[in-house]
A and B are shown apart, each in its own frame.
Chain A
C-alpha cells in the first residue's frame, strides 16, 4: 500500500464528494438527496481513514472519527427518512420542489 501514497485515495474521495454534492443539487426525490448526503459522508470518511493510514499521527484518531461519522450517518439517515415520510404524508409526494411553502 505504501507505494501508492494517499493521493489516489484522496482523489477518489474528492470524486465521491463531488458526486454527492451534484446528487443533492440535482435530484428531485427526497431520498435521492439523502443518498447524496451518504455519498458526501462516505467521501469524508474515506479521507479520514486515508490519513489514518498515511499519517502516523492519526493512526487511531482517524479511525475513531470515521466510526463516529458512520454512527452519525446512520442516525441522520433515520431522522431524514422520518422527515421524508412526514413530508410524504403532507404532500403525497417526495418531490422536494413541492416543499416551497416558505417561499419569500
Chain B
C-alpha cells in the first residue's frame, strides 16, 4: 500500500463519515459542521488527484464562503440555540432505502468504467486554466460572471428587510 493509496483511504473514509453525519445529524448546526469536514475532505481529494487550484478554490469558495453563508442562514432563522425539526422514522426509511438503492445503482454503473491509461504528470495548473478561461471558455466565463451579478442583485432583493407579513 503506497502513500497515496493510504492517504486516499483515510481521507475518503473521513469524507464519507462526515457526509453521513450531515445526513444523520438532528441539529442543523451539527450538520453544518459535518458539512465543513466533508467539504474539506473533498478539497483534500482534489489535491490528491493533482488538481491543486481546484482544491484551493474549493477551500476558499466553499469552506470560506458558502459554508459561512449557510451558518449565517442558520443564525438568522434559528429560533433557539439547538433547534431541531425531527423527521418521522417512516420517512427516514423511505429516504434511506432510496438512497441505498441509488448508491447501489451508481456503484454498479461505476464498476463498468474501465481504467484509462492515466496521463503523465500533474493536471494542468493555474496557467493553462487561466488561458483556457480567457480563450476557449470565454463565453461560459462571461456568462458565469453575469450570472453572479444577477445572483448578487437578486439575492439582495429577496433577502432585504421587509415588514413581516401578518401570520
A contacts, CB < 8 Å to B = 1-12, 14-23, 25-32, 34-36, 38-39, 42, 45-46, 49-50, 52-56, 59-60, 63-64, 66-68, 70-75, 77-79, 81-86, 88-90, 92-95
Contacts and interface: CB of A to CB of B under 8 A. Distances in A.
Interface in B63-105: 65-66, 69-70, 72-74, 76-77, 79, 85-87, 91-92, 94-96, 98-100, 102-103
Interface of B: 2, 4-5, 8, 12, 15-16, 19-20, 22-23, 28, 31-32, 35, 38-39, 42, 45-46, 48-51, 53-54, 57-58, 61-62, 65-66, 69-70, 72-74, 76-77, 79, 85-87, 91-92, 94-96, 98-100, 102-103, 106-107, 110-111, 113, 115-119, 123-124, 128-129, 132-133, 137, 140, 144, 147-148, 151-152, 154-159, 162, 164-165, 167
5 interchain residue pairs of minimum CB distance = A14-B106, A82-B158, A22-B99, A18-B103, A82-B159
Contact of A64 (B31, B79, B129): B129
A78 to B, nearest CB: 4
Interface of A is mostly: helix
A77 to B, nearest CB: 5
Interface of B is mostly: helix
Contact of B22 (A35, A50, A53): A35
